[in-house]
Amino acid sequence: MANKILTDLRKRIVSFAQDDDTALSVSDLNEYYLDSGALFNIIVCNAIELTQDDTIEVEFFADDATVRVFNYFISTLSDEYSLFFYELNERDLAAGWTEGEDEDYLEAVVTKLNRVKLENDLPIDIAFLQDGTGGGDGDGQKYDIECWEAGTYSADEYVRHKGIVYQVKNDVEGGSTDDEPPSNDWDEVGNVITGEHLRMEGAGGPQAADMGATVDRSTIIRFNTKQKNYLLEIKNIDTTTREFGLNVLLGVSEFLMHN
């Protein structure tokens, strides 16, 4: 009887170490999603030049899926830039939008990281928003969300103030000390989820060492794309034009139920 128990125990230990779809995932949440074929890498751009205050904007469009943002990877020599995630009202990646450089948007590249399970496709649309300066049919779909300060804002512009995103309805004077904008001049359209302002070492310094204290958690944000759109914005604050590369690691919760 004792020998049979030991044999069963050895079989279970060996099964934990097997690299197959029945193995117990014990390392972390990322590995659990990877084993289930539910982990995706989004290649947004490799080397996009941003002048001072220019932005990279990536929009995640609403669909019937719950998505985790596990991590993002930024490559740049910029000494100062910001990163914001926004939750915004739903809008469609409309058929009337023009895809192309400096038109309305570019399609982001999606890669499947589990090469054994290739049946799952990312169930949401992701667009690398453009500014519409290409001279074609696209007017541009970038939000260009500004921090609310004293000054004049024109209709349809977006501003953020105290964690809330507003869209201007009528030309109006804004003030940084206002508690909230007049209801007849602004519409509340979203919220800031998280934001970072990164100041790096000067030229030649150890870039990665200067990010300071960070919170290490397995999931940065969990999107509810069933009801909202989401926006990732990176702004170059450096006075020098810099190149930026951006990848995002996503997981789809619903795929875990079917694998």
Q: Residue 203: which of 73, 50, 81, 80 has the closest Cα?
A: 80
Mean pLDDT computed over 114-123: 89
Q: Is the pLDDT of residue 250 over 60?
A: yes
Q: Is the pLDDT of residue 3 over 90?
A: no
Burial 168-192 (b: 16+ CB within 10 A, else e): beeebebeeeeeebeeebbeebbeb
> pLDDT at position 183, please?
64
Q: How does pLDDT run across 215-230, given as a tens digit for each residue?
A: 567 788 999 888 899 9
Domain borders along the chain are 1-35, 41-258
Supply the pTM of this predicted model. 0.84
Residue 243 is encoded by which pair of tokens? Answer: 């190149």
Lowest mean pLDDT among 16-30, 72-86, 235-249: 16-30
**How many whole angstroms from its chain centre is CA 197?**
16
